[in-house]
Structure 1
């Protein structure tokens, strides 16, 4: 670029001063150097239709260090749609086994995506071995992630149907009565949701111009920011209450809360199943503090003369495992839930969830970089907070994962006595399918919508029935798709409800790359009904908007406390 600028400056000077351009150029750079520079630029420059796939051939030798062993060691099965890809894997196994340099001319090519085709075929129309293999491996990864191909013997990547309860068990459960919140009849479900959606659309269409804080133009709805409604004297009173709290050591606080609640007795030894006794309690509390504040076991051992590193490491290994932590957390939440003071904050029926990213300085399974958070690596702790400020469920997730797929896990699989009915998230915490699944499982899902103006509204009947909303109703619900797959959607929801499969795992499968299966699309259509009903409630009910904001603020307050402790 510097050479280009110098040559350009010389040409401008020659033009303006009437000089010989070639002589002027050679004063800047010898002619041979100019020619050499242009040839180098041709090699460096990427074409206008540049694709990063052009560069993958340089990484082929790196992949070859392990891919032959990988495809030889694992056994794959597939749906009918993915059979050409499995045949290509067989071709690669044969090529590797017999040391062939070329891919046979009759090798399957149906799986090759359009983007890869110009790389898979060389100039003579022959199959390029390197790109054929890389295309097959890339598609194998995508199809395994989506569930169209599964790995024999794997728990994470098994046949999609194996995640669900069997058809026979589902029929028995349906006859006996399930814990789902919708009718087992698709006709009854659609009739009830059609009436509900029609009622909301009619009311909003008739009253949209009179709603306070709502601005509606021809195609978009905008909601004004909520004004603060907390009086200043309440803030002053709150600060005076904080001043009354005694200043004590964290260790004393832990021991005192343990004496009230007995939460420490939930940390059963992983081998002997025995609760901590005597000095083991002090060791356990020190290990909890070391891990919970991020001081670490080594520095905690240095700070506690009577407790060794070996004792702390032993407690962390054998007592601070996930199930024990979940039981102890439930014990604390249940104790707080029964206190009269807690009822001033809420009744325990609403909750919120939000992710808190923490930096990680060592190699770890969930430690990834995300440009949104800077250059360092980290993980996200996804926390569920009840309306009484109780943190009732936490989960470490990949920092690049979408929060929405983990919402159902926290609502179903916490072990506390809270009966959550309404749940709040921020914008990243929702998808259409989460809306649909939450309704089926009996939860009111209520995210804060920052992109409300761009959100799509859907209708089941004709959009011209609602003249003031017609331009905003950009989609029509596919009721036939719902009717045809309703029973399969309920089987999926029942499998999650009964703990056969986690919500995050199955939602990840349904939302991944190539899987346009009918269950996923039917659940999405059901979710669009619920999302439209929720948006109509959101714009017509200021109390709901304030409730969501208040719930999310409580989650932020808990994250603030966690950040203060975890340094």
Structure 2
């Protein structure tokens, strides 16, 4: 199974509902819970503008195949570029009754889903601007321009701009196909919800780590804010790694003592707990107290129920 990712935000001073909106840490995580890309963005910018940046510029070894995001993370332009750049885009759709399907020929009637039809596609517009669409996708792929910059520019174009309209029409095709899959495929809906739940759980951990839930962003420069976001990701990743290693040790101990564990249940374990971690106080590392390589802290004694 290839890696997928979801995006979450960690806000400072309660940016979405507080009195002083600030910035967001926009983070991508993999299906293995590991954060692999983070970006500092303004709170007023729509999430969809930055979705592709994490997939294209993460500089990790992950091969992203499928991307999950919430409703705020997609637009028709994002749907189009996701398809052109080779990603399976799977946003969670809310208010499904308000999402319209688009058909190639407005003269054909679909009685069973007539209430869902939003209109006919402008295929001719896509054809006439196909070269411009491919050129835009190639520019993003080759790093000539970032995906977020191009999406912001396209979003600011007048509604009659040829490229913006053509890309939107292509996105309508992809969104329609995905909506039909969403309606029919129960497993797809479960997979998307499971992926987003991982993101929300990681978000809770990040909020707890960030000054023990009392965090405020006091760095004024973008560079320092970016360092703060990267540092938060590093600490969260360290906690996830620690939990993963010791969960494996605990399971191994159970098995060695004759405890039968259904392997199917192991897929529901999460390394995102932090109740056992002291998030406040002073941290002192002495060279004489370093844990030797391949040595682990002892587990609690095994007790049969």
Q: Report the CA distance shift for 1:422/1:442 in structure 2 as closer, same or farther (over 3 A).
A: same
Find the aligned partners of 2:107 and 2:192 in 1 and give their Cα distance: 29
CA distance in 2, matches of 1:463, 1:544: 31
Please give the residue correspondences for 1:2-401 in structure 2 after superposition, counting only pairs within 5 Å. 347-359=1-13, 372-401=16-45
TM-superposition CA deviations, 1:431-490 (whole Å, max 9, x none): 000000000100011111112110111001246442201232121100000000001100
C-alpha separation between the residues in 2 aligned to 1:520 and 1:400? 22
Please say if residues 104 and 123 of structure 2, whose CA atoms lie closer than 8 Å, have aligned partners that are also in contact: yes
Aligned residues: 211
Q: Within 1, Cα distance between the matches of 2:115 and 2:203?
A: 41
Task: Write the distance in 1 (CA, Å) between the matches of 2:116 and 2:21.
Answer: 42
Cα distance, 1:463–1:375 mapped onto 2, change above 3 Å: farther
2:115 partner SS: coil
**Are 1:535 and 2:179 matched, yes or no?**
yes
The answer to whether residue 85 in structure 2 is matched with residue 431 in structure 1 is: no
Contact 2:77 / 2:171 at 8 angstroms: preserved in 1?
A: yes
Question: Aligned equivalents of 2:190 and 2:139: distance in 1?
Answer: 34
TM-score normalized by structure 2?
Answer: 0.66
* Residue deviations 1:486-541 (CA, integer Å, cap 9, x gap): 01100000000010000000100100163632111100000000000000000101
Out of 199, 203, 210, the position equivalent to 1:566 is 210
Query: Which digits, 9 at most, give the CA deviation of each residue in 1:105-147, with x for residues without a partner?
Result: xxxxxxxxxxxxxxxxxxxxxxxxxxxxxxxxxxxxxxxxxxx
Partner of 1:525: 169
1:406 maps to which of 47, 50, 55: 50
RMSD: 1.5
What secondary structure does 1:505 align onto?
A: helix
Cα distance, 1:423 vs. partner? 0.3
Gaps of 5+ in 2: 212-305
Q: Which of 1 and 2 has higher RCO (CA within 8 Å, sep 6+)?
A: 2
Q: Is 1:478 paired with 2:122? A: yes
Whether the 8 Å CA contact 1:463–1:473 is kept in 2: the answer is: no
> 1:205-250, CA deviations, whole angstroms, 9 ceiling, x for partnerless residues?
xxxxxxxxxxxxxxxxxxxxxxxxxxxxxxxxxxxxxxxxxxxxxx
Residues 348 and 386, structure 1, Cα contact 8 Å, conserved in 2? no
Hey, what does 1:545 align to over in structure 2? Answer: 189
